[in-house]
Amino acid sequence: MSHFVTRIATIEIPVSNLNNSISFYTEVLGVQTDFKGENAAMLSFHQKGVPTIYLVETKNFQQLSFNNIHSNVEHSVIDFYTPTLKDFYNWLEKKKVEVGPLNINEEGIGGFGFKDPDGNQLSACNIEHWGQ
């Protein structure tokens, strides 16, 4: 069996105000703006193998999130990695970013949700998966 797809290239995020979103993502995630057009921008972590983030301004805006029908928890479709989960959580709170509860188990593994200026549900975790 042949495998044609080898990684995620880009994550596309709908936004209502491109400039506000660029400011949020560059400040909160530390990404760099590789391209900025009239209605879209490409942001990058500048690390090999890490997907870029493509912000697309739209008038037909729909927030990125979904509810788990079993737990009624709102989930994100994007989970960002941080080795300093508690510090990142506290920093976001100080920046007045809307954050959900910080969930950490006995082994110190966990995560939390947070929202961008448009209410897109994002999350952060300190879990490194195989190959990362």
State pLDDT tens for residues 16-74.
999 999 999 999 999 999 999 999 999 999 988 899 999 999 988 788 888 889 988 88
Q: CA angle 16-19-21, nearest 5°? A: 60
For 95-112, write each residue's pLDDT tens digit.
Answer: 999 999 999 999 999 999
Average pLDDT score over the chain: 92
Q: Which domains does the chain have, with CATH numbers?
A: 1-60 (3.10.180.10), 63-132 (3.10.180.10)
Query: Residue 72: which residues within 8 A CB-CB, separation 6 or more?
Result: none
Q: Where do we find the tokens 């997907």?
A: 51
